[in-house]
A and B are shown apart, each in its own frame.
Chain A
Amino acid sequence: MKELVDQISARLKEQKIQVPDAEIESRLKKLIEEFRVPESEARRSVLNYFFKEHGVMPQVRASAEKAVISAIKEPGKWVDLQVKVLDLWEPATEAISQTGLVGDGTGSMKFVKWTKAGLPNLELGKSYLLKNVVTDEFQGRFSVKLNRTSQIELLETEVEAKPASLAAQPLKIVEIAEPGRWVDLTVKVTQLWEANSDAISQSGLIGDDTGTIKFVKWVKAELPNLEEGKSYRLKNLVTDEFQGRFSVKLNRTSQIEPLDVDIEVGSQSVEFTGALVDVQKGSGLIKRCPICKRSLAKGVCSDHGKVEGTYDLRIKAVIDDGRRVQDVLINRETTERLVGLTLDAAKQMAMEALDHEVVRSMIEGKLVGRYFSVTGPRVDRYILVESINEAPPVTVSQINELMSTVEV
């Protein structure tokens, strides 16, 4: 306790504030002993109290250092930055007055200007000295926040900012594994979808030799349209994730370069081995929409309404290796081979039982709990199964090999 009081007293003296130790101690005691506040929090609270009492903004005492963007490596630091505004985004909440991207010669970073800060607006393309901004971090990516203690000074000379694209990495689609990364892709547009929102100018699928991924091009990006079947180099896209599936977004900082060569869209075949732990709803005997081939729910297609469906046989299953789960889709041909049941036989079965679920039950009985190895292209969160084999029997040498790795 004594130590803590001394620390606080010393910090106050730095700001030329004299407070009797007894006063500090009584505040500390109340927080720590009566309210069981952790010491570090109590210390902060008491310090802030006296700072406020004496009209000192507590943040100011931590004098900001001049910094460059690439040097920002930890959150909660107060820094001064000379930057150019590279992009402005639509704030997601009213608490934010402006957000976007600022850059200097070393890189670029997201910034957030709080509404409460009461600061003037930044203009796109202008350069500023941002004084006393605080660094923040989310999932390994840093940003700076402009708050009430921050200051903005317009600079006469333009800050040489690396275009944000230099931060982007050229990647293959299969390598996209986390959201919020800036990437460059060389792709062919394989499918364009109808945009379902006014904010989206185009969306669809793009592919390279490793796979395909969904893309979204915002109206605000003001980029030229992509054509189906054409190949492009897309620069400075940002990756996104929703329910475990990745997509890329084209925004104002992105660039589109048409290519003369034709990018081959492949899907690198992947292999996955594990126990089949679930045969999901929508497996077995299903009906598909004759127009869009999507499966029907109670005879209704989500796009084309009530239609006369066509029968199909497929399996949606989950394979699990104890570390990861993998969704797999097995088409009719492979399903017929795997479970030894033709589409016609399945229809017959369902008719006799007056229930198509019997087909799924039968598939479950043959597959659930067994070990399989599947190969096929990965699309979205699925592997489209091209081959599926039951894992080979365990051999004595396999066991010995594993035992030899055990350090006893």
Chain B
Amino acid sequence: MAGFSREVARRIFTEELKSSNYSFRDGEDQHQYAPQYLLTPTGAKCNRVFMVGILTEKDDIGGDTEYWRGRVVDPTGSILIYAGQYQPEAAQILANMEAPAYVAVVGKPNLYQTEDGNIIISLRAEAIQRVDEETRNQWIIDTARRTLERLQVLSSTSPATISDDFATADKVSAAATPAQDAQRAREHYQTDIDHYRQMVIRALTSLEGDLAEGRSKAKDAPATPTAKPESGIGESRIESEAGIEEPPAAEKVTPAAKRPRSKKIESLDAWPEQDSDEEVETFHIGKKS
């Protein structure tokens, strides 16, 4: 085995990231310093994530010390990012940034369970940097490619639950290959492969649309950034509509799923509402300041 090596930053669309609820520590002895991973529905085992999107809002939600929260939007939805005193550089950059803006974020996924059992995924930012539309486009196609690769592996796994005797369970956690991660993801989430294929297509289609109409605008005016977030918000609405259309598909899999899974579905549905609340709230703060 290799000694210390840096964790790869996975590429995951926010919709998939927020549908994740399976996190575990790796390593033979599961001590507290073993790296923490989040396994996503398509089988990305991530300790680190790289994303590029539009920062649509930012707030200092800290008390005495600054604690910055931002919302980053991609074609499939949005996710909250956090940077506080332990990420001073990222916090500083976020503090000095004006939303809306294109941002790149390198961060660690964070899983938080609310009292009523909802699971909320956010990113603890290690690095934030202002980028441009080009970079955002690169990221979408990059993330689409990686997601399709994972789906490819996923479709070669069997949807049936394999026997969970001790030996197999141990093997999976110790040296997991992408195929084993995929198998594990499929067992846990009962992943609807077609749903995620559609998500990728949606993201690519929106990018194609941006390129077709936005190309000339992007060239001559910095006005595009203000135009973009609107489309971002529009897309996040599409996501919430999709969320409403979702239940039939989701219910299909519920019987086979374990308990935490049904909680997760609630959280999925709950998100868009929560989102809109926060959006209104932060909008006011923005106006005051």
Please list the residues of chain A having a beta carbon within 8 angstroms of any beta carbon in chain B: 38, 241-244, 275, 277-278, 318, 320-325, 361, 364-365, 368-371, 391, 393-396, 398-400, 402-403, 405-408
Are B9 and A394 closer than 8 Å at their CB atoms? no
| B202 nearest CB across to chain A (Å) | 11
A402–B144 Cα distance when bound, in Å, is 8
Are A402 and B211 closer than 8 Å at their CB atoms? no
| B203 nearest CB across to chain A (Å) | 10
Chain A residue contacts of B131, Cβ below 8 A: 369-370
Chain B residue contacts of A365, Cβ below 8 A: 129-130
Are B139 and A275 closer than 8 Å at their CB atoms? yes
Count of residues in B whose CB is under 8 Å from the partner chain: 49
With A364-B127, A394-B207 already in contact, the answer to whether A405 and B8 are too (CB < 8 A) is no
Q: Answer yes or no: B237 CB below 8 A from chain A CBs.
A: no
Chain A residue contacts of B126, Cβ below 8 A: 278
Are B197 and A320 closer than 8 Å at their CB atoms? no
Task: Report B210-245 CB contacts with A as 1/0, cut-off 8 Å.
Answer: 011000000000000000000000000000000000
| A396 nearest CB across to chain B (Å) | 5
Contacts A325-B5, A408-B198, A408-B201 aside, 15 further interface pairs with beta carbons under 8 A come to A243-B5, A275-B138, A277-B127, A322-B50, A325-B6, A368-B104, A368-B106, A371-B138, A394-B141, A396-B211, A399-B204, A400-B208, A402-B204, A403-B204, A407-B197
Are A370 and B104 closer than 8 Å at their CB atoms? yes
Are B138 and A394 closer than 8 Å at their CB atoms? yes
| B135 nearest CB across to chain A (Å) | 5
Q: Answer yes or no: B116 CB below 8 A from chain A CBs.
A: no
With A320-B8, A322-B10 already in contact, the answer to whether A369 and B142 are too (CB < 8 A) is no
Interface residues of B in 1-52 (CB under 8 A from A): 2-11, 50, 52
Chain B residue contacts of A323, Cβ below 8 A: 8, 146
Q: Answer yes or no: B194 CB below 8 A from chain A CBs.
A: yes
Q: Which of chain A's residues has its CB closest to B165's CB?
A: A38
Q: Which of chain A's residues has its CB closest to B102's CB?
A: A369
Chain A residue contacts of B166, Cβ below 8 A: 38
A318–B146 Cα distance when bound, in Å, is 19
| A232 nearest CB across to chain B (Å) | 29
The number of inter-chain residue pairs (CB within 8 angstroms) is 114
Task: Report B131-143 CB contacts with A as 1/0, cut-off 8 Å.
Answer: 1001101111111
| B42 nearest CB across to chain A (Å) | 13
Chain A residue contacts of B148, Cβ below 8 A: 402, 405-406
A241–B5 Cα distance when bound, in Å, is 12
| B51 nearest CB across to chain A (Å) | 9
Q: Which of chain A's residues has its CB closest to B7's CB?
A: A325
A325–B130 Cα distance when bound, in Å, is 22
Chain B residue contacts of A278, Cβ below 8 A: 6, 106, 126-127
A107–B42 Cα distance when bound, in Å, is 43
Can you list 26 residue pairs at the A/B interface with Cβ under 8 Å?
Answer: A38-B166, A242-B3, A243-B2, A275-B9, A275-B50, A277-B9, A277-B106, A322-B146, A324-B8, A364-B127, A364-B129, A368-B127, A369-B50, A369-B135, A371-B135, A399-B141, A399-B207, A399-B208, A400-B208, A402-B144, A403-B204, A403-B205, A406-B148, A406-B197, A408-B194, A408-B198
Contact of B201 among A396, A398, A403 (CB under 8 A): A403
Chain A residue contacts of B139, Cβ below 8 A: 275, 371
A405–B144 Cα distance when bound, in Å, is 11
Please list the 9 inter-chain residue pairs (A to B) with the smallest Cβ-Cβ separation, ordered nearest first. Answer: A369-B104, A243-B3, A394-B137, A369-B129, A368-B129, A322-B11, A371-B138, A322-B146, A244-B2
Are A322 and B197 closer than 8 Å at their CB atoms? no
Task: Report B86-107 CB contacts with A as 1/0, cut-off 8 Å.
Answer: 0001000000000000011110
Contact of A322 among B142, B165, B194 (CB under 8 A): B142
Task: Report B183-203 CB contacts with A as 1/0, cut-off 8 Å.
Answer: 000000000001001101100
